[in-house]
Structure 1
Amino acid sequence: MLLAQPQSFCAGVERAVQIVEAALARYPHPVYVRKQIVHNTHVVRDLAERGAVFVDDLDEVPEGALVVFSAHGVSPAVRAQARRRGLRVIDATCPLVTKVHAEVRRFAARGDDIVLIGHAGHEESEGTLGEAPGRTTLVRTVDDVARLPAYEGGTAYVMQTTLAVDEAAEVVAALRERFPGIKGPGSDDICYATTNRQEAVRAVAAESDLLFVIGSPNSSNSLRLAELSERAGTPTRFVEDVGDVRLADLAEAARIGLTAGASAPPALVDGVIRNLRGLGPVEVVERRVAVETTTFNLPKELAAR
């Protein structure tokens, strides 16, 4: 078994989960969470069993109650709604998503038309679009770029943090060709964890007869890992946990690659390895492309006293 490294939780996901855990330990229940704190059904189920109540809209939260915003970020309109309803807010937005929001505000303040490269309907994209809804247009593909209007003033672009690096680069190249003066972010919007996990999958896919990607179907970064492996020509199975691993898939595979999206708990990886060892001897070999040392502090409401 070839184990891609890094894999599983990133610093932003760890922080978001820790925020809900700390809120559950410190404040009376229930603790409300707007949307899934991270896109993983196992994480959400575990926190719900411990007293978190997940809601799709703030209207479902009683006035004055405590609510946690998910790691994907929210629009200014959502923050305003929380203030109107007197909600106590703890913000679990990943700091790297917050950076993208700040870029949109900066570009909008200069009067630029802004292009957001991202996926329609994803919570991160919706929150980012909400920073300057009258000035920001969402694109996903090179064809989308071709359909953009001929902007007369300044233009700028930002990205969803969990995109496939190579595909995003193609869209940026198309934007630069269409709008030669377009401005981009000061540093990459695609986060370090997304980039590292994609590089690790490239390293493992090239050596694997079969590759498993652990993640939930609504996890953008996990889906990108599976797509990357498939584009490399490696048979790929997207699974939520060991229960989705089929014996028939293993029949002709001597070298199996394994990775997990940034929102998937490490225990799910351990579960797959443990169960495969139940079938016979398994040698686990790591393929590490980076060592991650990034950490993010908890918000002031939950800082150690």
Structure 2
Amino acid sequence: MASRHANGKNASGIYRAIEESVNRTRLTEHFATRTNDNGVVVASSFHHPSRGYVWCPASPLLAAWLISRGVPASVQPLEVCLQQSSSQTPEEGVLFATTYQDVDHGTIGIAALAQGPLRDRAEQAIRAWTACLRTRRLLVPLVDTACASPLVPLPPQGREERTPLLTSKHRAPSVCGLADAARDCIVGFKQRGDTVLLVGDGGLAAGSSSSAAWLDDQEVVAVADERAAVSINVDDAAAVAFVVNPCSSTEEVAQILAVLRTRFPLLRGQHPDQWCYRTTDSRNAVRTAVAQSDLALAVQNGQAGWLPEDILSVRSLGDLDPTAIASAATITLVGAQRGFPVPGVGVNDLIESLSGLGPTSVVYQRVVSSISTDFLKTADTSRSRVSVPPSTPAESPSERRAKS
């Protein structure tokens, strides 16, 4: 415990040193220069008179913030000669800039160039975002996509009329073993004469359910939620089986099954070692990250139904508020599912822009469930390795009396 505490103190000391370094090296200045632009030019890079090359990763963020407030702005590298000046004529251009020394990336800054009446707006932007400079963490929970191989039926021309819709020999190719297992279970239960209930919504995002083709052929009954579990009817309540729709949330599946088992006490179904935990793991990764953060941002991706209530949806960089960013030492960024591109802004855009507002660490987090079914075998093996001393025969009452 002592060493852990010491490490914690050291880490805290390093954090304070970095924070002090940013504050100590931070300079907010303005420079007289020429510009031919009618709008505000946000610098993606520029050359400081004494600090040399300055990289500006947050430039898209500043430009988006200005544009969202009706100010014409563009992002450009500046190749102009800068001169410090205490006074400017109304026609002159002024570059407002804040720079600091980053421990890993040299000189970082934010800068905006404008002339005439737009100079006040450029200065306002630099002051607002300069207040956000600090050391911070960005937590990125890794959210998986739905299975790439949903329950796909065999084309009608590929089977005879009496052949089951799916068989292990002719099923569609899959990259997910759990999807294969679900399809095999459906075939097995159908061959026994059971009504098969496909439990769960079947995906991480709305509209990604894999059950549509099965529903068209009426081979299974979709039970996507508890309301459906209450309302479904079957011909024979003693011949009902369930299969979990791959990538459904296991939390929601358990709630649905609780309703179904009440209605159909003889319900049988797929073994839990074939349930898919991808969606549950992804949601738990998000919830864990959000619980650790001061601010949580999510790109718009259609998952609002299960995201925590205090998470903010971001459609563009212009949605970010400097007052909220300034007070946040830890920010969670929830991205769209991999393979589902979102127009506008993505997690990588947020990471790059926020990394220009102080020394930044990006922490990628994943939750992974591991399923085990051989625990009894393991327990037996462990017990066989324990040596038990032979017990001595118990003395009879007469022997004990003779000794006494």
Query: Smaller-chain TM-score range?
Result: 0.5 to 0.7
Contact 2:154 2:172 in 1 (8 A): no
Contact 1:118 1:125 in 2 (8 A): no
Query: Where do 1:178-257 residues align within 5 Å?
Result: 178-188=263-273, 190-213=275-298, 216-217=301-302, 223=303, 226-230=304-308, 233-237=309-313, 244-248=316-320, 251-253=323-325, 254=328, 255-257=330-332
Secondary structure class of the residue paired with 1:229: coil
Is 1:96 paired with 2:174? no
Secondary structure class of the residue paired with 2:211: helix
Displacement of 1:235 after TM fit?
A: 1.9
Counterpart of 1:228 in structure 2: which amino acid?
Answer: W
Secondary structure class of the residue paired with 2:152: coil
Is 1:146 paired with 2:212? no
Distance 1:77 1:277 in 2: 51
Contact 1:205 1:211 in 2 (8 A): yes
Distance 1:121 1:205, change over 3 A: closer
Distance 2:263 2:354 in 1: 50
Unpaired segments ≥5 residues, structure 1? 17-70, 82-88, 218-222, 293-305
Query: Following TM superposition, where does structure 1 have runs of at least 4 consecutive aligned residues deviating by more than 6 angstroms?
Result: none
Contact 1:210 1:235 in 2 (8 A): yes
Match of 2:221 in 1: 137
User: What is the identity percentage for the equivalent residue pairs of Structure 1 and Structure 2?
Assistant: 27
Contact 1:145 1:175 in 2 (8 A): yes
Larger Rg: 2
Q: 1:126 aligns with which of 181, 192, 212?
A: 212
Q: 1:112 aligns with which of 191, 194, 202?
A: 194
Q: 2:243 aligns with which of 158, 179, 182?
A: 158
Counterpart of 2:332 in structure 1: which amino acid?
Answer: G
Match of 2:377 in 1: none
Displacement of 1:115 after TM fit?
A: 1.1
Q: Deviations over 1:241-289 (max 9, x none)?
A: xx734443564151321244553489x5444312321344433344443
Displacement of 1:126 after TM fit?
A: 1.9
| RMSD across aligned positions (CA) | 3.7
Counterpart of 1:80 in structure 2: which amino acid?
Answer: G
Displacement of 1:163 after TM fit?
A: 2.2
Distance 1:78 1:262 in 2: 33
Distance 2:369 2:255 in 1: 27
Distance 1:91 1:288, change over 3 A: closer
Displacement of 1:141 after TM fit?
A: 1.9
Taking structure 1 as the reference length, what is the TM-score of the superposition?
0.56
Secondary structure class of the residue paired with 1:75: coil
Distance 1:270 1:229, change over 3 A: same
Secondary structure class of the residue paired with 1:91: coil
Distance 1:129 1:189, change over 3 A: farther
- More strand, by proportion: 2
Match of 2:360 in 1: 282
- More helix, by proportion: 1
Query: Which has the bigger relative contact order, CA under 8 A and spacing at least 6?
Result: 1
Displacement of 1:149 after TM fit?
A: 1.1
Taking structure 2 as the reference length, what is the TM-score of the superposition?
0.44
Contact 1:215 1:264 in 2 (8 A): no
Match of 1:77 in 2: 155
Distance 1:178 1:169 in 2: 14
Distance 1:98 1:261, change over 3 A: farther
Aligned length: 212
Contact 1:115 1:138 in 2 (8 A): yes
Unpaired segments ≥5 residues, structure 2? 1-136, 160-170, 371-404
Counterpart of 1:192 in structure 2: which amino acid?
Answer: Y
Q: 2:338 aligns with which of 245, 263, 288?
A: 263
Distance 1:213 1:190, change over 3 A: farther
Q: Deviations over 1:156-175 (max 9, x none)?
A: 11222222332222111111
Match of 1:272 in 2: 350
